[in-house]
Amino acid sequence: MTLLRTIKVFISSSTSELGSERRELVYSISQDIGNLFEKDNILVSFVSSDDAAIVTCGRFQDSIIQSLDSCDVSLFLFKCKAGQYTIQELEMAREFQKERNHKVFVYFLHVPEKEKTKEIKNLQKRLYTEEVYWRECENIMEVKYDFALQLLNYEGICNAESDMKSDKDIEQIEIAKMQLDKTRKNEHQSVENILVKIEAIKSIPTGSISENISQIIEFYKKADQLASKTDYDKRKHYNLLTDYAGFLKDYGMYSNAEKVCVRLIAMAKDLYGTESEVLATSYNNLGEVYHNQGDYSRALEYHIKALKIDEEVLGIDHHKTAIDYNNIGSVYDEIGSYHEAKEYYQKALAIKEKIFGMEHPDTATSYNNLGMIYYSLKDYTRALEYNQKALSIFEKYYGTDHPATATSYGNIGLVYHAYGDYLKALEYFQKALAINEKVLGENHPATATSYNNIGGMYYKQGDYLKALEYFQKALAIRKLTLGEIHPDTAVSYNNIGMVYKNQGNPIAKDYIQKATTIREKNIVQ
């Protein structure tokens, strides 16, 4: 009869900081590595420091000594905290290492150098000088892979009659490495497969817009989670999250996009440094999210950060620098600083015409922006000229079912509205609405803008029932996508209030007051 032998591992970490990671590690090693030992009738089991009944310092010490005495190996996890109890446990494990054949392995989950506490840095230095085995790993899955191989090496030493590993031991370790590499590759391929599915849904939608959006978001979440748990290439993970943030931003999910963009900035600093064009792009992405959320001061802050890096790294005639100028101009446009906006838009246009020529979509974006500055300055002739230039380019490159084309239709509609040509304005507003509903869906901020524009046209004509219908549609979408205190939401409240006022409805003052309250909050912010 073959006896079952158990390798017992004492595992310790800060429960408050790494409790879930520790449980994940135990489960993962038990599943993946236990299978490697199965043919030799060896069982891997874990003893946690939390299993001890800790009441007093004396009882704590006695319990840990008993636990360590029953184990062959100790594994310690650290991240940002180096708690008193975990350090005490490590000290006791080191004593066992000196006195008997007890192996100690210490792992630190990676954090940027500036985020490491003094205690963690000192502990790493001390372990290095004492020649204790320790490694810094990117994530818990990397800890698993490394510790699994260390455990297999350790088992080989235990089975050998001398310090030399037998051919069988070496073969077992190589097989383990191959199996672990295969697991790793399978996990990486799973991420790649999810990304392929995302692109397939984007290219050939199968359901409604809302169903496709929900499905794509779920796939992005799965890919992100899997990439975070494995040693997936960090730069590929960065690109994955960049695409995810862009998708959330495109479909008006600004709060979620903000969270992803904040992560991207931290990753860009870690991967590329604090003076890289990649970091500048991450700053710009977060700036655009703040812009869409109506937080213009923070939007301007991050766009200026991006501009400083790009001017230094890429120069003042680079297309990315033009993007920075454009973004800054857009914020000035929003806050009513039209002359400053015009200055930055013209800088962007000069670069784009030089690089791309006068018939390129990027150049058309600048034509659009300048057209709306002239609209704000009440120079409607030039506003129409620039917006029509943009529209002809967008229709040529993108066709009539693209958000950029919809934007130009909407802008031209605003100019005709200002001229008092309401039939022409309605024609262009409806063209924009049709595209936005088809491409972006019924619950997108751009669709709300189309509803608002059409409502404004009916309001000017004195058709208050029609105006109210469209203003209410715009308000519902803006509350859903932008939130209650967004400047655009305030516009919708005010528009509805003005309709009620013209109808003699006393509820008008409530809507107008809501709009005023939101604007005051935004001024304070």
Q: Which residues contact 368 (CB under 8 A, 6 or more apart)?
A: 386, 387, 390, 407, 408, 411
Strand, coil or helix: 75: strand
In whole angstroms, what is the distance from residue 98 CA to residue 86 CA? Answer: 19
Output the DSSP codes for 147-214: HHHHHHHHHHHHHSSSSSPPHHHHHHHHHHHHHHHHHHHHHHHHHHHHHHHHHHHHHS--S-HHHHHH
Question: Token pair 């704590």 is at which residue?
Answer: 60
In whole angstroms, what is the distance from residue 417 CA to residue 410 CA? Answer: 10
Q: Which of 140, 2, 137, 134 has the alpha carbon at shortest distance from 74? A: 134
Strands (E), 278-434: none
Residue type, 49: S
pLDDT category at 32 given cuts 50, 70, 90 is low
Question: How is the beta sheet containing 133-137 ordered, strand by strand?
Answer: 42-48, 5-13, 73-78, 103-109, 133-137
441-445, long-range: CB within 8 Å, 24+ apart, which pairs? 441/209, 441/210, 441/213, 441/251, 442/209, 442/477, 443/210, 443/252, 443/477, 443/480, 443/481, 444/251, 444/252, 444/477, 444/481, 445/252, 445/292, 445/477, 445/478, 445/481, 445/482, 445/488
Task: Specify the pLDDT at position 162.
Answer: 34
Q: Which of 40-44, 50-54, 493-497 has the lowest mean pLDDT?
A: 50-54
Phi/psi region, residue 232 (left: phi>0; alpha: psi -120 to 50; beta: rest), is: beta
Encoding tokens for residue 510?
Answer: 């409530």
Q: Which residue ranges make up each domain of the chain?
A: 5-159
Burial grade of 35 (CB within 10 A; 0-12, 13-18, 19 or more): exposed
Fold of 5-159: Rossmann fold (3.40.50)
Task: Specify the pLDDT at position 227.
Answer: 83
Which comes out higher in pLDDT, residue 99 or 218? Answer: 218
- pLDDT tens per residue, range 441-486: 888 999 999 999 999 999 988 999 999 999 999 999 999 888 888 8
In whole angstroms, what is the distance from residue 512 CA to residue 498 CA? Answer: 7
In whole angstroms, what is the distance from residue 404 CA to residue 369 CA? Answer: 12
- pLDDT tens per residue, range 112-152: 777 788 888 888 878 877 767 888 877 787 788 778 777 76
Task: Specify the pLDDT at position 494.
Answer: 94
Burial grade of 245 (CB within 10 A; 0-12, 13-18, 19 or more): buried
Whether 39 has a pLDDT exceeding 60, the answer reads no
- pLDDT tens per residue, range 308-366: 999 999 999 999 999 999 999 999 999 999 999 999 999 999 999 999 999 999 999 99
CB 517 within 8 A of CB 493: no
Residue 476 CB coordination number (10 Å): 15
Q: Which of 48-62, 210-224, 317-331 has the lowest mean pLDDT?
A: 48-62
Q: What is the mean pLDDT of residues 197-210?
A: 80
In whole angstroms, what is the distance from residue 412 CA to residue 165 CA? Answer: 79
In whole angstroms, what is the distance from residue 59 CA to residue 227 CA? Answer: 42
